[in-house]
């Protein structure tokens, strides 16, 4: 039996997040939304297509005979306008109109690209998120952020455009590598750190069950993480204020990600960024030394990095200046007053960022 969480804007229902353990009920939701008989394009990538595209197509055959699948190359390096233009061409060649539907089947890259395509094709076409990674299920599929990278800068071209549905089949997490699962978990941990100390403690208490992908614990983790994001995005759908709290760990994390040419996973860079932000919070006497070290060390048992090699601190700082979170040449940095108590700061200096980066950059001692 599916469980449902509804995202509301202006106190009105906007779209549902469905939690299930298979894809079977996806067809009924698509039908209820009014897409029976319409053209449906499943956008997926080269990793996910062989795993789930056929299964999802069989389910959607109950709704429409006009099914198409479009495959993009997997990887952040392919999240660009060139790939978007190719999707536009496919839609035009197959005569998709405003009443048809796109479905994003995959992780955050597929979701962001499909959403951006939907927001701009014919000035707006409906889309549904079907996230298959932990990162996408708990973070990127929710809230309507869409976009692509430009010249390696993360999400510089994009739009806020809400999906008609988010359909989360948690059984897809079983096909993730341990590294991919850990990458997604960084966003889950972030949600606890910024908004919910009890959830943060629950994650630590259920460390082994989470690592083993225990179905009941995993479902509870995904749902609660989505509830935290729901509360934030409902209050601030277009990031005018509190939604920026979700960027905890992302300012330096995105810069590290670009500096390493996307060789590290997004969540790994977010974990490093969270450690750096917690370090700055400690040095500003906002949290205690003990709190900082606990935050830092708790990433380790979840297989996330807390240090990095071969990174130049000055290069990373320079990259933050081109981040989309900059505001009048000031970086909106997310800091902590305690676990579960994040706030927006605009007074983090380059020197403070440099010291935080020096804390996480590992330099081998050859003495």
Per-residue pLDDT reduced to its tens digit, 321-340: 876 556 656 788 999 999 99
For 140-197, write each residue's pLDDT tens digit: 999 999 999 998 888 999 999 999 999 999 999 999 999 999 999 999 999 999 999 9
Q: What is the pLDDT of residues 238-261, one digit of tens each?
A: 888 889 999 999 999 999 999 998
H or E segment at 342?
strand 341-345
SS3 240: coil
Q: What is the pLDDT of residues 38-90, one digit of tens each?
A: 999 999 999 999 999 999 999 999 999 999 999 999 999 999 999 999 999 99
Cβ-based neighbour number of residue 244 at 10 Å: 20
- Rg of the chain over all Cα atoms, to the nearest angstrom: 20
Confidence class for position 366, pLDDT limits 50, 70, 90:
very low
Is 258 strand, coil or helix?
helix
**pLDDT at residue 289 is higher than 60:** yes
Going by the DSSP 8-state scheme, the letter that residue 354 receives in this structure is H
């Amino acid at each position: 039996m599916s469980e449902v969480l509804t995202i509301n804007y202006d106190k009105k229902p906007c779209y549902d997040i469905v939690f299930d353990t298979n894809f079977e009920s996806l067809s009924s939701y698509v039908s209820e939304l009014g897409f029976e008989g319409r053209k449906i394009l499943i956008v997926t990538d080269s990793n996910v297509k062989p795993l789930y595209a056929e299964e999802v197509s069989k389910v959607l055959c109950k709704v429409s005979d006009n099914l198409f699948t479009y495959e993009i190359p997997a990887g952040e390096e392919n999240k660009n306008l060139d790939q978007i233009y190719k999707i536009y061409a496919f839609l035009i060649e197959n005569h998709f109109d405003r009443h048809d539907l796109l479905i994003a089947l995959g992780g955050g890259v597929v979701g962001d690209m499909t959403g951006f395509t939907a927001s701009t094709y014919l000035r707006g076409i409906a889309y549904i998120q079907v996230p298959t990674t932990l990162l996408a299920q708990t973070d990127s599929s929710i809230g309507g952020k869409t976009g692509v990278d430009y010249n390696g800068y993360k999400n510089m071209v994009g739009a806020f455009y809400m999906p008609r549905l988010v359909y989360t089949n948690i059984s897809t997490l079983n096909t993730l590598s341990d590294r991919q699962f850990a990458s997604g978990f960084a966003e889950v941990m972030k949600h606890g750190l910024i908004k919910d100390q009890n959830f943060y403690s629950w994650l630590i208490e259920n460390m082994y069950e989470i690592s083993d992908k225990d179905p009941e614990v995993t479902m509870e983790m995904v749902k609660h993480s989505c509830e935290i994001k729901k509360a934030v995005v409902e209050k601030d759908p277009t990031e005018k204020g509190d939604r920026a709290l979700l960027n905890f760990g992302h300012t330096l994390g995105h810069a590290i990600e670009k500096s390493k040419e996307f060789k590290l996973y997004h969540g790994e860079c977010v974990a490093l960024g969270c450690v750096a932000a917690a370090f700055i919070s400690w040095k500003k006497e906002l949290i205690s030394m003990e709190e900082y070290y606990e935050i830092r060390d708790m990433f380790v048992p979840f297989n996330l990095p807390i240090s990095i090699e071969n990174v130049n601190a000055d290069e990373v700082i320079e990259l933050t200046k081109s981040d989309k979170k900059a505001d009048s040449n000031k970086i909106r940095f997310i800091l902590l007053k305690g676990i579960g108590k994040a706030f927006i700061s605009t007074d983090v200096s380059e020197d403070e960022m440099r010291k935080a980066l020096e804390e996480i950059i590992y330099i081998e001692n050859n003495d």
